[in-house]
Structure 1
């Protein structure tokens, strides 16, 4: 894109910048969400909650399955 194209798109620069920032924030959020260390900490906390009687076996199984799916999906990569 030449100089003329850049000049024509200059008014849209804040929108493009905002879109770039949003993409970066989303990428970081997904990285943290699927991070194996984070998922393992959540699994440990879930086990603690079960042992403390805060949740029942059915809830534990459902939440554990969700966390294991996240762990598997994170291992697959993007």
Structure 2
């Protein structure tokens, strides 16, 4: 039965291959988008800019709030992904 099914579904192999590639591309894009390291680095750079006087307190607070909100989104995503994998 496995051989017959394999032969009958052979014309769909390119479609399955495209699906596999698309899945890998989406996973890679999600990993990059939800990587907290660049956001944490931006927070460090923002702190440094404030210490050096390149950013005033008001601008610092605005950017910090935005970056912290982004970190919350990333952590929420990671928790959802962890929950889907049964962790």
- Shared fold (TM-score greater than 0.5)? yes
Cα offset, 1:8, TM superposition: 0.7
Kindly name which structure, 1 or 2, has the bigger radius of gyration based on alpha carbons: 2
- Where relative contact order (Cα < 8 A, 6+ residues apart) is larger, the structure is 1
Distance 1:9 1:43, change over 3 A: farther
| Structure 2 segments unaligned to the other structure (5+ residues) | 82-87
Moved over 4 A (4+): 42-45, 56-59
Q: Distance in 2 between matches of 1:41 and 1:10?
A: 48
Say if 2:78 is the partner of 1:67: no
Q: Deviations over 1:44-67 (max 9, x none)?
A: 56x46x928xxx679636633541
TM-score (norm 1): 0.64
How many residue pairs match? The answer is 73
Cα offset, 1:37, TM superposition: 0.7
Q: 2:6 aligns to what SS in structure 1?
A: helix
| Structure 1 segments unaligned to the other structure (5+ residues) | none
Partner of 1:18 in structure 2?
Answer: 18
Q: Distance in 2 between matches of 1:36 and 1:58?
A: 19
Say if 2:4 is the partner of 1:4: yes
